Every structure is written in C-alpha cells, then in structure tokens.
Amino acid sequence: MASKLEEDFSCPVCCDVFKDPVLLSCSHSMCDACLQQFWKSKGARECPVCRRRSSREFPPQNLVLKNLCETFLQERSRRASAGSEVLCSLHSEKLKLFCLEDNQPVCVVCQASKKHTNHKFQPVDEAAADLKEELNIRLKILQKNLQELDDAKLTCGKTAETIKIQVQNTEKQIKEEFKKLHQFLRDEEAARIAALREEEEQKSQMMKRQIEKMSREISSLSDKIRAVEEKMGADDITFLQNYKSTVEHRPPRKRRKPTEGTQWVSWL
C-alpha cells in the first residue's frame, strides 16, 4: 500500500516525491525544476510523459498535489522516527541496500526505480564493513601524519629554544670580550697618557734648567754691559787708563780663545 501511494506521489521525471509540482494542460504533473530542465535539454516545451506541447512557459502550481505530498512526507517521517529501524524516506521500506554510484543506503523499491537504473548495489552490512575498512586505512594515514606533525612541531620547538640559548650565550661572550677590550683600551690610554706626562715633566725640567742658565748669563752680560757703558762715559784720560783692563776681562763662561786684534769684538 505504501509503495502504491509512493508511486502516485512520485515525479515521472526524477522518480522522487513531488517538489513544487506544476500541472500541464495535458493533466500530467511533475516537479517544476524537473520540467524546466527537461524543456531546456529538449529545446521544446512538451510534456515529458505524453509529448504534448505546452502553450505556457510557466505552468501553474498543482497546489492540491503539493499539499498531499507534504502530508505524505510528514506521515512517512513520523512512521520512520517511531520505528526501531531507519526507513527509506521515499518508500518507507527498510534500507537494506547501498547504492555504490550514489553512495547512499536505499530500499528494494529504490533499487527498482528509474533513478537507480543500471546502478550497482551491496548489502548494507557488507558495504558498511568495506567502507569502514577503507576509512580505517585513511584514518591510520591521517593519524600517522598527525604524529609526524606533532614530532616536527616538537623538534622545531626544541630547535628554537636551542637557537635562543645559543644567541644568549654568544651575546654574553661578545659583551665579555668587548668589556675586556674596553678595559685594555682604558689601561692603554692611561699608560700612554702617563708616559706623555713623564716625558713632558722631563722636557719641562730640562727647559727650566736651560732658562735658568740663560737667565744667569743674561744677568752677567747685562752687568758687563753696564760696566763698559760706565767706563765709556768717563773722561778720555780715565777711559784710556782703564781700556786695557776692560778689553782683557773675560766673561765667566767658556769661550773660544779670541785671536789677536779681535778681543773686543769677540768679548762683546
């Protein structure tokens, strides 16, 4: 009874329960989407059942059939949810087969429908076992990939930590080396400045002694000059009387022995 009712509510194009059914002038009904797709593929507006041409581009909805189909689907869903087994949503039959082309469980009525023409089927338990085995193989591959990624992530984390420690150690070593270098440069600077100060002191003392010596000589010469000037200022007799003693007087420092006739010039 359910199968006969299912056929009454099935679209002749898609073989499923009507969705938004429309009514043609020939009294045949089908899903609006199925009709538009059929017309598009044929290139002509004709009925998919009787091939009678339709004068309307957009046929009216079959509201009565639409309401009946919705009621039928609701009742079938209620019966399926109330039962202990999942039933086919189209035929309210047990899902005993698995369509290998559509990858979905179907009932024996679906197997005989146009929608599954020339399709291959497997019993539900065999199909489930095969697919579970296939998925289990894929699952193991995914688990292996996950483990490899976890290991790679752990290795990267350890490498990053090692790099961080190496950078810290290298930075510490660089700072220590530059600290030693700075101390060496400070010590070298201090040593060179000290040597420069010592050299300055030695040269300053030498220049001081030279200045003192020259100052004494300047003082002595100044005294001699004043004495000669005083004698030159005397009257001629006194000057001539003292001339010999004046020109024969030698300065206190050592000088080359003057030659005859140049005593006055050399001494002065």
Burial of 22 from C-beta contacts in 10 A (0-12 / 13-18 / 19+)? buried
What pLDDT score does 156 carry?
A: 93
Q: Would you place residue 1 in the very low, low, confident or very high pLDDT band (cuts 50, 70, 90)?
A: very low
Amino acid, res. 118: N
Give the count of alpha carbons within 13 A of 11, CB side only. 22
C-alpha–C-alpha distance, residues 3 and 196, integer Å? 119
pLDDT of residue 191: 95
Residue 246 — very low, low, confident or very high, per pLDDT cuts 50/70/90?
confident
Helix-then-strand count for the chain, H and E: 7, 5
Q: What is the rounded CA–CA span in Å between residue 268 and residue 263?
A: 8
φ, ψ at 12 (rounded to 5°)? -70, -15
Query: What mean pLDDT comes out for the span 58-87?
Result: 79
174 or 113, greater pLDDT = 174
16-20, 28-32, 63-67, 262-266: least confident range: 262-266
Q: pLDDT tens, 142-195?
A: 999 999 999 999 999 999 999 999 999 999 999 999 999 999 999 999 999 999
Query: Higher-confidence residue: 255 or 202?
Result: 202
Distance of CA 125 to the CA centre of its chain: 51
Using the predicted structure, report yes or no on whether residue 65 has a pLDDT greater than 60: yes
Kindly tell me if the per-residue pLDDT of 211 is higher than 80.
yes
The percent of residues above 90 in pLDDT, for the chain, comes to 40
The DSSP output letter for 87 is: B
Q: For residue 98, name the pLDDT band (cuts at 50, 70, 90).
A: very high
- What was the pLDDT predicted at 5? 67
Mean of the per-residue pLDDT values of the chain: 85
Task: Give the pLDDT score at 262.
Answer: 37
- The span from the CA of 61 to the CA of 67, in Å, is 11
Average pLDDT over residues 71-91: 73
> What single letter denotes the amino acid at residue 138?
R
pLDDT at 255 over 50: no
Q: Which tokens in the block code for residue 219?
A: 């003082």
